[in-house]
Amino acid sequence: MPTFDSLLLRTERLLLRPLAEDDAPALYAMCADPQVMRYWSTPPWQSIEPAQALIARDIKAMAAGDYLRLALERIDDGQFIGNCTLFSLMPQCRRAELGYAIAHAHWGRGYMHEALVALLDHGFTQLALNRVEADVDPRNLPSVRSLERLGFTREGLLRERWIVGDEVSDSALYGLLAGDWRKAHPGAATNET
């Protein structure tokens, strides 16, 4: 796998770039929000330390090509609004998993769809992925709709897969194949800088 520490993707409204140390306060604010973390596999963060640790881990992992996590930065004002990730990269199988989060103030504006189109297009074209998978709480209907809008197909359900605090939740498993992506998004070429 290539390294990702200098990867930049542009969309109409967003710059997707590696996380930087000064993103820690905004990342913490997003991940401390119970609404954002409602369907996550961990509880909301209680301090800035997890944000700082994640960014430090990313700096090393992205340079090694272990996974790809990009901040979503609005072009018009440079504001960090979320992130998206391709992780569990399996070069032999040309497979990865997809993750994403966006600050609550930016929900419903199409930013995540815009970012995921760019990220997935990069994955299927530049990384030659054959398959991308996503694991989502089936109660998280906005995320389910986002995946389906991107062309993902629900392929299974793992009952009571996660326990966060005292809450037990299922996982709906979704998959997207390169061939399906190319059919559904023939002109989704990523703008890389």
Q: What is the pLDDT of residues 58-91, one digit of tens each?
A: 999 999 999 999 999 999 999 999 999 999 999 9
pLDDT of residue 56: 97
> In the chain, how many domains are there?
1
Q: How confident is the model at residue 192 (pLDDT cuts 50, 70, 90)?
A: low
Residue 165 scores a pLDDT above 90: no
The answer to the question of residue 4 being in a domain is no
Residue 190 scores a pLDDT above 80: no
Q: How confident is the model at residue 96 (pLDDT cuts 50, 70, 90)?
A: very high
CATH number at residue 74: 3.40.630.30
User: DSSP state, 112?
Assistant: H
Start-to-end C-alpha separation, the chain: 19
- The CA distances from residue 2 to 6, 55, 82, in Å, are 11, 19, 23
Domain residues for 105? 9-192
**157 close to 131: Cβ distance less than 8 angstroms:** no
Residue 36 scores a pLDDT above 80: yes
Instruction: Tell me the pTM.
Output: 0.93
The answer to the question of residue 2 being in a domain is no
- Across all residues in the chain, what is the average pLDDT? 94
The answer to the question of residue 101 being in a domain is yes
The answer to the question of residue 3 being in a domain is no
